[in-house]
Amino acid sequence: MRLKSLVSYFRENKKRLILSLLGVAIGVFSLSLMVGITEAMEKRVERVIGKMGSRVLVILPGEVKNLGGRTIQLSFYPTLTVKDARAIEQKCPDVKAVSPFKKVSPNVHHGGKRITAEVFGVWPSYPEITDYKPLCGRFLRREEEDEMAERAVLGYEVAKKLYGSECPVGKVIYLYNAPYRIVGVMEKRGTDLSGENLDNRIYIPLSSAVRRISNVDYVDGIYVLPVEGAKVEEVKKELTELLLKRHGKKDFSVNRFEDLVNTQKQAMEIFSRLSLIVSLIAFGVGALGILGVMTLSVYERLVEIGVKRTFGATKREIALQFLAEAALLSLVGGSGGALLSTVMVVAISSLAGWGVFIPVKGALISLGLATVVGIIAGVYPALRASSFEPKEILNET
């Protein structure tokens, strides 16, 4: 019953209501969006690192720098070769598996139609390093690498697009009109943090990619998996020394896969921090909005206050009414914002392929904060409302 006057009052002052709700709605929206995205991203990072293993090292040509949270290749050197990978395999006792990789972009045809997919040349050890399993068929073999065989393993999505749920082992796709026989399909991987779809790939023997398709002798990078028990930092040193000796200068960098992922995470964290500031400002504006509208409403609701006091309301009851109303306004605005941000987070995380994620934590934190903001903003109007004596309001002379 006591809320009826609030509802009825704002039914007649809708614009004011919307204005007062907007600030808090935006505050809650940006805060829970931020918490939600950060959380979704952290989950994704955990999954990516978890799959690759936090021990995997990546050797990249040129110099890599972490600028503002982004990994930037400062200079490019076509100096990292398959021979380097072989040398690592033979000379580093602490290395369990090595796989160079080279991304090539041939025209890919299937059944007379051109399809878009990334083509990756890798060694047979690639699944071991990246903890990647075939869904059907098998991965590439050593002899296929040695023979520059025209064999291909499809990523999950490529296979699904072309063959549905059927296992396409034995079928053929064409890279630059050369037929590649399909020997397997890999399990589903999702996207990496930069949004690249890891399932829209075709894996072929590295030798085929380097010699047959691009006809160069350098690779894009080399994945290295240290043996169990070996210290990752020591392996890193070992690799650096070996490559320095081979190249004569430091035209490469050795990174932990985890660090590369984390730099992306750091970029997102900077974004998060900015949106935290934005949401705090929005909360401040929202609080001022509620403070203003509620204070204004006190003066427009003097009759209500006077009548209620006359009919037995204590100052405390009046103050509590206005306080509760301010909190309610804030909560209503906040719920709107939380709803919207939940929809956004679900949409963003599924579009980005981070998997469906419902940001319960963000929404709850923001709603709690909205209530607190409402109560704080309600203190002044509540005190003002309860400061009137009924005879002052109802004095008729």
Partner 1 sequence: MALIELKGIKKVFRQGELQVEVLKGIDLTIERGEFVAVMGPSGSGKSTLMYIMGCLDRPTEGKYYLNGIDVFSLKDDELSKLRAKFIGFVFQSFYLIPYLNVLDNVLVPVDYLPKEEKKKRFKEKSPEEKAKELLKRLGMGERLKFKPAELSGGQKQRVAIARALINSPEVILADEPTGQLDSASGKAVMETFKELHSEGKTVIVVTHDPAVASYADRVIKIKDGKVEE
Q: Which residues bind partner 1 (CB under 8 A)?
A: 1-2, 4-5, 8-9, 11-12, 301, 303-304, 306-317, 389-391, 394, 396-397
DSSP bridge pairs for 72: 65
Least separation in angstroms between residue 386's CB and partner 1 is 11
Q: Which residues pair with 226 in a beta bridge?
A: 95
Residue 190 backbone zone (phi > 0: left; psi -120 to 50: alpha; other: beta): left
Which of residues 165 and 395 has its CB atom nearest to partner 1 in the complex?
395
10 vs 139, beta carbon nearer partner 1: 10
Shortest distance, position 309 Cβ to partner 1, whole Å? 7
Q: Please, what is the minimum distance in Å from the beta carbon of residue 382 to partner 1?
A: 16
Our CB check for partner 1 shows the closer of 2 and 273 to be 2
| Closer of 242 and 383 to partner 1 (Cβ) | 383
Query: By C-beta, is 116 or 310 nearer to partner 1?
Result: 310
Q: How far is the CB of 387 from partner 1 (least distance, A)?
A: 12
Angle at 126 between CA 239 and CA 58, to 5 degrees: 35
| Least Å from the CB of residue 5 to partner 1 | 6
Best CA proximity match to 30, nearest among 303, 369, 290: 369
**What is the closest distance, in whole angstroms, from the C-beta atom of residue 293 to partner 1 in the complex?**
15
Beta-strand ranges (E) seen in 142-200 are: 151-154, 172-175, 178-186
How many helical (H) and strand (E) elements, i.e. helices and strands, does the chain have? 13, 14
Are 170 and 151 contacting, i.e. CB atoms less than 8 angstroms apart?
A: no
Cβ distance to partner 1 smaller for residue 4 or 114:
4
**Nearest-CA neighbor of 157 among 119, 190, 110?**
190
